[in-house]
Every structure is written in structure tokens, then in C-alpha cells.
Amino acid sequence: MELRFVGNSGLQVSAIGLGTNNFGGRTDEAGSIRVVKAAIEHGITAIDTANVYGGGLSEGIIGKAIKGERHKLVIMTKAGMRYGQGPHEGGASRLHLIQAVETSLKKLGTDYIDLFQIHFPDSLTPIEETLRALDDMVHQGKIRYIGSSNYLGWQSCEAAWTSRSLGLNSFISIQPHYSLYHRVPERELVGFCKAYNVGIIPYYPLAKGLLTGKYRSGEEPAEGTRLHDVRFQGILNDANYEVLGKLEKFAGDRDHTVLELAFAWLLARPQVSTVIAGATKPEQVQANAAAADWRLTQEEVAELDLITERYIADPIE
């Protein structure tokens, strides 16, 4: 498995990471632990979670799964997404972040977090307060590096300049929704990340399942699949299927799957450090990990960019 640096830091992560949003939800504890063990076996070092994943269960499950293996892994977690009605049950205030880090450390069964990320921007808390709180915890040894998630380009730039002006640790990464079907980050975020050497950690790389190869035009999504959920079935329209057909042909002509193509295209994008992919079974982990071996040429990337250009302005959500 290829290792990549995250932004301008010395932190190295596997090109494919493991997403754990389903742990404690769609995947029970025993199944989740099997997935983590499979990830380690296939060279995946980056494990991404959040304090709200799996209704708050994901971090605890990961803590059980990584016993004896912690030294091999880069644990990435997040806080800031609201999980209750109380004034400090979410957001990026000093009070909430200190509480969140302490809770995450206990659940994960570790004394440090490799990459701690702010899950969503908090318009009610000054960015200086957020960054000072994170900087303090870096100096205390509870956090090694800090990152953001779902920040816009201007918010990322504001954070970078605040850190630079005050001499604080700065965000080395950002997690955006990014895939062949959702190229919104290319409007301005990718440009910011290149200019400031911030690592990009895409989530939803498989377009909520559309790029897994499971779905066919005119066929009802299988029960239990993500797109069987009525909330997501708007994705399964003729226009998206037309593009999917082109992508599948592109991959098939090169003896690859469309799933492998989804990862390979992202790994060919500037600034991408690791691609976060969820899994409910060890076999899915193996397939995701194998995708890191495909290296696209510049000409192939340009062809794919043209096929999916419409998803910069009109992404699937």
C-alpha cells in the first residue's frame, strides 16, 4: 500500500483509508472489528471516525479493534457536529472541543489522536478560539495534528491566515465530499489546497454507492444497499446512468472495475492524501485496498475529467 504525506506535514497515511460511519449502525460490533482487522491486514493505516458516528458507538468499537495494533495506525476523528440540544453539544468552542477530545481518547483507548478534525464550520464561534483550543491540546500531547472537514475555500483560507498570524498550529488537511459525480471542490477549494499545501481527504468517493458497480439502469436497487433507501434514489436517473456506462466502459477496457476507477481518479488529483472508504465486510476492504495499485496517465485523467465535467456545476448530492 502506497503511503502519502498529508499536506505540508510529516504525517504519512495509506492511500486508501477506512471510513467507519457505519460502525455500530449498519455494521454490528463483531462485523466492524472484522473490517478493521482486514484493513490492517491489507496495509490500510488511516482509520477515520467521528464522535457521532454509529450513534456515538464507532469510536468505542475502533478502540476494541485496534488493541495491540495502535502503533501501526493513524487514527483520525472529528468533533463539532451537533448531537444534542445543549449549548455545548456540538460546535467548535473551546469548552466543547476539550470535552470532545477527552471523550474520544477514552473511547478509542489511546492517549493521543493522530489527526483531530473540526467536523463542520461553526459560525457562532470565532475561528481564533477554535484554533487556540486545538493548539493547546497539540502542546499537551493529546493531538498530533489538526484538520478540518466540510469547510469552504474562504473558511479554510481564514483559518490558515489566523494560524499564521498568531503562530498557532494550522490545519494540515480538509475532508470534502469529492468524487467523479461531485466535483464541487474544484471550484475553489482544490486551488486553495494547492496554494497552501493542505492535504485533501475525500469522503463519499463512490458517490454514495453509484460507483460500486452494483446498480443497473431499469433494475430496482437490491434491498440492503445504500441506494435502496428512498432518500437517495433520485441519484438513479438516466443522465447519471449514461455517465456510469461511459465510466464502466473506460474501466473495463483497461481490465479494471468502475470501483477501482473511482479511487484511481481521486488518487490522481492534486493534493489528495488518502481516500476514505467505508466497508461492511472484509471483502470490500480488500477491493478498496486493491484500487490503490492503478495509476492513471495524464491523458486518462483528462478523458475522465471531460466525461464528468458537468458534475462541477451540477453535482449529485
Kindly tell me the burial class for residue 268, based on how many C-beta atoms sit within 10 Å of its own C-beta (0-12, 13-18, 19 or more): middle
Reduced to 3 states (helix: H, G, I; strand: E, B; else coil), residue 61 is helix
On whether residue 304 sits in a domain, the answer given is no
Q: What pLDDT tens digit does each residue of the chain (317 aa) get?
A: 899 999 999 999 999 999 999 999 889 999 999 999 999 999 999 999 999 999 999 999 999 999 999 999 999 999 998 887 777 788 999 999 999 999 999 999 999 999 999 999 999 999 999 999 999 999 999 999 999 999 999 999 999 999 999 999 999 999 999 999 999 999 999 999 999 999 999 999 999 889 988 877 666 665 656 655 556 667 778 899 999 999 999 999 999 999 999 999 999 998 999 999 999 999 999 999 999 999 999 999 999 999 999 999 999 98
Helices and strands, number each (H, E), in the chain? 11, 10
On whether residue 111 sits in a domain, the answer given is: yes
Q: Write the burial class of residue 250 (CB in 10 Å: 0-12 exposed, 13-18 middle, 19+ buried).
A: middle
Q: Is residue 82 part of a domain?
A: yes
Residue 242 lies in a domain: no
- Half-sphere exposure (CA, 13 Å, Cβ side) for 303? 11
53 as an active site residue: the answer is yes
Total number of domains constituting the chain: 1
Nearest CA among 171, 29, 156, 148 for reference residue 79: 148
The residue from 53, 178, 203, 215 that is catalytic is 53
Is residue 150 one of the residues assigned to a domain?
A: yes
Q: Are 144 and 119 in contact (CB under 8 A)?
A: no
- List the domain range (segments joined by +) for residue 149: 3-209+259-296
In a domain, 223, yes or no: no
Q: b/e for 35-55, b at 16 or more Cβ within 10 A?
A: bbebbbebebbbbbbbbbbbe
> CATH code at 121?
3.20.20.100
- Asked whether residue 241 is domain-assigned, the answer is no
